[in-house]
Structure 1
């Protein structure tokens, strides 16, 4: 499931300037790396955040999801330490071989850098906090007892994925890190393998019981397409999502209400699904028929199960419409998804409901919360000519209720993770 986790993350200040493309941003990050560490990086890699078009809380139930990578990303400049290299078990021999030095433009006061430093041999869950837990978690799973020899390295992180918005800022950092190390250490990992490893980093090191969706979208996304993912088999298919060609736009409405997947609400929903599957005699809710009798379940568990079963059907329906070129036709499915997340899964909040209701009233074709819920963002599929109208209506509605002004911006389906420089 979805993405950012609020471990007292510092305020975000990206090195990206408006209109700056990835190549220019990578060049600027390389220069900053040289200023920080005194030498050039070995390369620069990026990994996008994601928007989940539909399919929420289905991934950890072995279900279907339909995310797409967005044109906002985490970017890392990395240099391996020259006193250690692949093929050597780190942490042995000369001191410092397995030291990882991290720096980030996510700075507490909005200026300077946030720094972290650790020895790979000392890594264990709970030993890294805030943004540094994400690259540290990747190193931890790569260098585990059955893992590979990971040498020390230096890393400078920059990100344009909003923190706490439900757009997978944390997974973008993890994916950028693993893609960089996969290249630099010539590990030969394919994209599904990297998705599984970053999921382990989330589950085992960060402590968030997330599924496989966010990493997969960041790794396997393509411009102009959504990723239809079977979370049981990890079979992935690209589905056309040419929003601009159909005169549409996808608006993200970031409510500013931070959420966390490492807290009790997310875990409780997952436990409820597992309980429901067991009670229905299934290994997971993926194995429960759509028309299953839920009357034997307690009311809360029945609601949770009903959401997952109906959401899987909505994902399949959305894929069918997109393949038929009926982009506007998915609007009703987005609306139904939000209602189910609000009423059956109970992971919405007043701000998300206000964003969705206002966007629809202002002319959106469809809208729903996206991500794990309890805050974060909503998305709205909007006729391109009405984007400003929807944006203004949402801002006014929040102001009238005395709520914090939301950030509203358009995203487009973008390319998955890779080397930039």
Structure 2
């Protein structure tokens, strides 16, 4: 990808880039909507990524180009307006520029910027966090700063929250930033603090992308965020991570049915994350798989961010030999299902699932076999 990106940069801009950066997409392994509630999550950086090539300009213009689009976004140094329509992808690097300024970091002036990706958008693999972190690293290459990973992650989240407009927690950016091959990333979102948990050998991940997706900024994600904050207020805690199952049950009438279900999901999901870490330490993949599927059922029935398509995939997958567990991955409301499997689940098994889905919904899902990968970093500099 690096050589392809550099060649495309030369073609588009007539010169070579000065740096190439990369940030991976991620699987939300378990911990659905726990991050902004102050809880814990597990995720895996994957071998699909956003790559960014960049070079400075002397005239103060900022030219943003995506390799899969013809139209460039060409702005003056003082222009940081939100883009719409086919140019809205540029809101992610633009958001990073505003985050750099807001957080007291040096902001690069003019530059040529080219992004290329093999992370499917709308699949719950957080292509948004990947482009934010790859962009942040590229901009730091121009200013000469060498930030730590916590800073890069913080900048990406600030861009998402304050410019793009999605009230996400730290999961997406944290996993993309702290990913490590053959490991999961564990995040205590209250700090936040980051650690890695080794994966036993033989674990495989399969992603089934339904290509059905409500954009997170259309209100559904924000609505769940608001419901969780309202539930915490009724329970008398700052965030739902501070609540206990007993508190949730004791306040069921005061919460009302909707807030009760949201709170119950979050509190129990945090416990499932803890259970997964313990099971991984014992190399008990059977227990891990049970917790993954239980997480999906909670998303389906309590948090209500699943869909008929996602539920069908989970039901079909867990009936297959070699599938240890399956759940939606990402914010929900469409997107993708992740399956954790052994080698007994292979391409032929994946084809059976794909075909069953196509018969049911008359559309082809995208099937991806993924491996874990390292987190965001600069891949090359002149």
TM-score category by the smaller chain?
over 0.9
Residue 101 (1) aligns with residue 74 (2):
no
Structure 1, gaps ≥5 residues long: 1-24, 84-95, 108-112
Q: Deviations over 1:226-266 (max 9, x none)?
A: 00000111111110114xx23x3211011111231111111
Segment drifting more, 322-331 vs 383-392: 383-392
Please name the residue that 2:108 is paired with. Answer: 150
Contact 1:105 1:114 in 2 (8 A): no
Instruction: Find 1:418's aligned residue among 358, 377, 380.
Output: 377
Please name the residue that 2:20 is paired with. Answer: 44
Please name the residue that 1:343 is paired with. Answer: 301
TM-score by length of 1: 0.86
Contact 2:108 2:142 in 1 (8 A): no
Paired residues in the alignment total 375
Question: For residues 145 and 376 of structure 1, what CA distance do their matches in structure 2 show?
Answer: 32
Q: Secondary structure at the match of 1:376?
A: strand
How far is 1:144 from its partner? 4.0
Please name the residue that 1:178 is paired with. Answer: 136
Question: For residues 373 and 153 of structure 2, what CA distance do their matches in structure 1 show?
Answer: 18
Question: For residues 135 and 333 of structure 1, what CA distance do their matches in structure 2 show?
Answer: 36
TM-score by length of 2: 0.94
Question: For residues 344 and 217 of structure 2, what CA distance do their matches in structure 1 show?
Answer: 39
Q: Deviations over 1:304-341 (max 9, x none)?
A: 00000000000010011112222232010001000000
Structure 2, gaps ≥5 residues long: none
How far is 1:125 from its partner? 4.6
Question: For residues 284 and 395 of structure 1, what CA distance do their matches in structure 2 show?
Answer: 39
Question: For residues 185 and 139 of structure 2, what CA distance do their matches in structure 1 show?
Answer: 24
Question: For residues 238 and 182 of structure 1, what CA distance do their matches in structure 2 show?
Answer: 25
Output aligned runs, 1:61-140, within 5 Å.
61-81=37-57, 83=58, 96-97=59-60, 99-107=61-69, 113-125=70-82, 129-140=87-98
Q: Deviations over 1:346-383 (max 9, x none)?
A: 00001100111000112211101110001100011122
Output aligned runs, 1:3-402, within 5 Å.
25-81=1-57, 83=58, 96-97=59-60, 99-107=61-69, 113-125=70-82, 129-144=87-102, 146-242=104-200, 245-246=201-202, 248-292=203-247, 293-295=250-252, 296-363=254-321, 364-402=323-361
Question: For residues 327 and 207 of structure 2, what CA distance do their matches in structure 1 show?
Answer: 10
Question: For residues 136 and 377 of structure 1, what CA distance do their matches in structure 2 show?
Answer: 27
Contact 2:83 2:90 in 1 (8 A): no
Contact 1:49 1:69 in 2 (8 A): yes
Contact 2:19 2:141 in 1 (8 A): no
